[in-house]
Structure 1
Amino acid sequence: MSVDTFVASHLKVKHNSAGEVSITLPTNPNLHRPPPPDNSGSRITTCLSRRGAKSIRGAVYLAGRDHGGMGTFITVTFDLEARERLASGETTIGAEISRFLDAWRSRYRKKGKKQPLFIWVAENPNDSNPHVHILTNDKVEYRHFRMWARGLEKLWGNGMVHLEKIKYAKAAGRYLMKAVGYLAKGTDGNQGSVVGQRYGVSRDLKPKEHIDYVHVGIEGVIAYRKMITESSGKKFNDIYVHEHGVWTPPGHGVNQTLIMILNLLHIPETQKIRTMFQSNSPQSFI
């Protein structure tokens, strides 16, 4: 089968261990190159990307499913001296946060305790007030907050540390997104210029991704294109349709999503069964 024929008759299904699924049309690898990383190097960003938001959603889901959920919301700030070092290029927000979290984990490692998990996002409103929001599964009682904050401020060394207890672990991701203005502004908002890494997720909270290519025939691809064109911005039974494809939130699962999509495309039952068992992932295409 030629690449062009393959592209014209398949859907690209990306799914991860958090149960998040996105379905798009495959592209000819000879015509398209993968985009550069959006969260590394000296790149300057002004808001959290869709990719970043997706990583955070998946991480929060896995934290709740496998690690008891995120229990504490932390904001760390930069004092005048630290801001001057950021402005001069001597350091970056990502470098300072990495040092801080490594030192935090090291305390647990030395005591032989299980190391805490983290999700963090940086913002810099008006390019003059850099700070970082952090979610962690490290849980502390209210009566110890002040003492804990003082200890973390010594560890941080760049400014103040503010702690808040998260009452509902399932709402942790929404809490973090709202804090950085992503829910209100999305990728069109300006959360301030940040050099290099803008967000981070502990390794154990990174969903493992898989890609399959599911055969739906040329008629199925045409129906899919029509649905994307006519229904962008709409939601069907937890399936979100946007200009690039469709997406379901963590916890949904690939099989359930595929069945729902095939129903929306009005693919006959006999072809649907064949589709589910004819996932194509040719090495020459990938």
Structure 2
Amino acid sequence: MTVAIEMGHTTAGAPAALDLEELLATRLLVQGNSGSGKSHLLRRLLEQSAPWVQQTIIDPEGDFVSLGDRFGHLVIDAEEHTERGLQSAGERARIHRVSTVLNLEGLDAENQMRRAAAFLGGLFDVARDHWYPMLVVVDEAQLFAPAVAGEVSDEARKLSLGAMTNLMCRGRKRGLAGIIATQRLAKLAKNVAAEASNFLMGRTFLDIDMARAAKEGWPCPSDAAIARAYGSHSLRRARRLLTYIEEQGLIVCQLDGLGRRVVTLVELAWATAPGDPNAEEAEQGSLAV
């Protein structure tokens, strides 16, 4: 039986739905700036699928603890448990098929990473007999799989990045369907982001940078600049992103007689100056990071 998760409506007014079976067989990346609706989208996805599939949420800000009251998720306050205890909790959650929220609120970055890694490790390492389908949602994924070293210890970063890599690269075989949400791909480890086969994108820094370029009369950013802003070296991915945003009716891309790209923001009626899409970043400048 096909289970459709209704996420909203298309611009034509038709229901926009996700196929739960397809979601469980793949991995999903959700991206958007702060305030763009990522948490609302994740909550809707979780609420719509809760009756059908086991879930766990890695929750750095305590945004999803209310799922315990409404849907019976077991809320685990990570601050009250050791890493060993959380690994055991992850194992038991899979064995007993209990939906959980790992609440990391109140912990510093180092301990958030360590405790999330321990819990994810428990989910991942459980015996094969318990590899039941499970949605594993990681909010603010860049905190647990950072692209560059920060103020945390190398050990904590290695543990957390290893757990996130296991989830996204090897988790599907174990029944774990990773759903990761981030504000910006450039801050997320490339090997983790690259494993996502489905994307849901809200308002992003690309939109903002395009608006800034249009308002100030700057040249349209090149494909290389767009790719770098999204944590990628793939010019093809940059072009796909522009195409996606244009298909949503937010921008219009045109080429002038010299082959330079002009992007017009539909709602504001602002347009960038012509820019060479094939230019190197050093020639044309890059999107802000």
Q: TM-score w.r.t. structure 1 length?
A: 0.30
Quick check: which has more Rg, 1 or 2?
1
Higher relative contact order (CA 8 A, sep 6+): 1
